[in-house]
C-alpha cells in the first residue's frame, strides 16, 4: 500500500522526485521497531499535531521525565500527558532530540487512557538530521509553573520578534487520510514575518516525501509551534497555509494566522544555545 496520499504524490511529481520517494516508501511502516521504542523512552518532549473539536489545527508541546512516552506494543505508544485532541482523532507526533539531531515521527489514532492517552500507529518513520540545530539539555525548571495563556488573532510586536529570531518550529497538517507533525529549521530569520497575520518560509530540500506540502494540497489547515528554548515559552499559531512555486523550483510556504496562543514557561525544559546545522542554507540563497 502506498504511504503517500494524492497531495504528496502530486508535489513529488512536480518536484521531479517521485522515484526517490518511491524508493524510501518502505521505510514508512505501522510497526515500532525496538530501536525506535528505545529512542522514544529517552525523550523529555513530544510534539503532537491534530485538529481540535472546532476543526482548527494545532501543534502542541508535551513534556515529561524520560519514559513519559513509551511503546506498549509493536503498534502502540502510551503518553503520560493530557490528550490535546478529541477522542479518536487522527494525530501526528514527532519526537525530536536536539542533543543527538535525531527525530522520529509516528502518525495514528489517539484515545484517552488511564495514563494519559495512547496512539495506535499507522505510520512510523525517522528523518535525516538536516536543518536540526544541536542543543544540550539543562536541568528542568520545575519551580515555575506555566503562566496564563495569552490569546490573540495576530502577532504582537514582541511575538513578531520571537518568530523572526526562531531557528526551529514545528508544523501540524491534516488530510482526509490522517494528520502529520513535522519540523522546520534554518538560520534565524528563515521565517519571514510579512505582516502581523502572515508568515512565509522557503521550503528547503528534504526527504522527498512531501508529507506536509502534500497535506496542504488537500487541506490548507495548519498549526505552527514556536518554542523559546531558554525560557520554555511557547507560541502556537493556527490558520491556513499554501505553497507557491517560483523559478528554478523554489518553493515558498505562506501561512495566514487565524488564532494565536502564547503560554509563558509552558515547558520546564531548558536548553543551551544552538549549534546550527551545517545544512542550513544562507538566508540570501
Q: What is the pLDDT of residue 275?
A: 98
Residue 281 lies in a domain: no
Q: What is the pLDDT of residue 285?
A: 52
**Res. 110: pLDDT tops 80:** yes
Give the predicted TM-score (pTM) of the model.
0.97
Residue 1 lies in a domain: no
Give the total number of structural domains in the chain.
Answer: 1
CA distance 60 to 254: 20
The model's pLDDT over 150-175, given as tens digits with 9 standing for 90+, comes to 999 999 999 999 999 999 999 999 99
Residue 37 lies in a domain: yes
The model's pLDDT over 22-43, given as tens digits with 9 standing for 90+, comes to 999 999 999 999 999 999 999 9
Please state the rounded mean pLDDT for residues 57-85.
98
Residue 268 lies in a domain: no
Residue 216 lies in a domain: yes
**Res. 2: pLDDT tops 90:** no
Helix (H) or strand (E) holding 10: helix 6-15
**Res. 284: pLDDT tops 90:** no
Q: Average pLDDT over the chain, rounded to whole?
A: 96
Q: What is the pLDDT of residue 248?
A: 85
Q: Using the CB atoms, write b or e for 176-209: b if 16+ within 10 Å.
A: ebbbbbbbbbbeeebbebeebbebebbbbebbbb
**Res. 244: pLDDT tops 90:** yes
Please state the rounded mean pLDDT for residues 46-65.
98
CA distances from 125 to 69, 105, 145, 178 (A): 16, 5, 34, 15
Q: What is the pLDDT of residue 249?
A: 83
Place of cell 506540502: 213
285: CB partners within 8 A, 6+ apart: none
Residue 165: DSSP 8-state? T
User: In CATH, what number is assigned to the domain containing residue 25?
Assistant: 2.30.110.10
Range of the structural domain that residue 201 is part of: 6-140+147-263
The CA-based dihedral angle spanning residues 13, 19, 23, 25, taken in that order and rounded to the nearest 10 degrees: 10
Residue 57 lies in a domain: yes
CA distance 101 to 155: 30
Please state the rounded mean pLDDT for residues 84-109.
98
Strands 117-127 and 102-112: antiparallel
The model's pLDDT over 182-223, given as tens digits with 9 standing for 90+, comes to 999 999 999 999 999 999 999 999 889 999 999 999 899 999
Residue 67 lies in a domain: yes
Positive or negative torsion for Cα 20, 26, 31, 36? negative
The percentage of the chain sitting over the pLDDT mark of 90, rounded to a whole number, equals: 94
Residue 24 lies in a domain: yes
Amino acid at each position: 500500500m502506498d504511504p503517500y496520499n494524492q497531495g504528496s504524490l502530486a508535489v513529488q511529481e512536480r518536484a521531479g522526485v517521485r522515484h526517490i520517494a518511491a524508493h524510501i516508501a518502505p521505510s514508512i511502516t505501522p510497526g515500532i521497531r525496538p530501536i525506535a521504542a528505545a529512542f522514544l523512552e529517552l525523550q523529555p518532549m513530544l510534539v503532537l499535531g491534530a485538529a481540535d473539536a472546532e476543526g482548527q489545527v494545532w501543534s502542541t508541546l508535551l513534556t515529561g521525565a524520560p519514559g513519559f512516552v513509551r511503546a506498549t506494543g509493536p503498534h502502540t505508544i502510551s503518553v503520560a500527558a493530557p490528550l490535546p485532541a478529541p477522542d479518536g482523532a487522527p494525530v501526528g507526533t514527532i519526537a525530536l532530540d536536539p542533543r543527538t539531531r535525531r527525530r522520529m515521527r509516528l502518525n495514528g489514532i489517539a484515545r484517552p487512557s488511564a495514563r494519559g492517552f495512547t496512539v495506535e500507529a499507522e505510520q512510523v518513520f525517522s528523518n535525516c538530521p538536516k536543518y536540526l540545530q544541536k542543543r544540550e539539555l539543562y536541568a528542568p525548571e520545575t519551580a515555575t509553573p506555566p503562566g496564563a495563556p495569552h490569546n490573540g488573532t495576530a502577532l504582537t510586536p514582541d511575538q513578531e520578534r520571537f518568530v523572526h529570531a526562531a531557528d526551529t518550529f514545528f508544523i501540524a497538517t491534516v488530510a482526509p487520510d490522517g494528520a502529520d507533525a513535522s519540523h522546520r529549521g534554518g538560520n534565524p530569520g528563515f521565517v519571514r514575518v510579512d505582516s502581523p497575520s502572515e508568515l512565509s518560509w522557503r521550503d528547503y530540500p528534504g526527504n522527498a516525501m512531501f508529507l506536509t506540502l502534500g497535506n496542504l494540497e488537500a487541506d490548507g489547515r495548519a498549526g505552527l509551534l514556536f518554542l523559546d528554548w531558554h525560557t520554555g515559552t511557547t507560541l502556537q499559531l493556527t490558520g491556513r497555509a499554501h505553497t507557491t512555486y517560483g523559478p528554478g523550483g523554489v518553493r515558498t510556504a505562506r501561512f495566514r494566522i487565524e488564532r494565536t496562543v502564547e503560554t509563558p514557561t509552558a515547558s520546564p525544559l531548558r536548553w543551551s544555545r544552538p549549534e546550527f546545522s551545517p545544512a542550513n542554507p544562507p538566508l540570501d540563497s
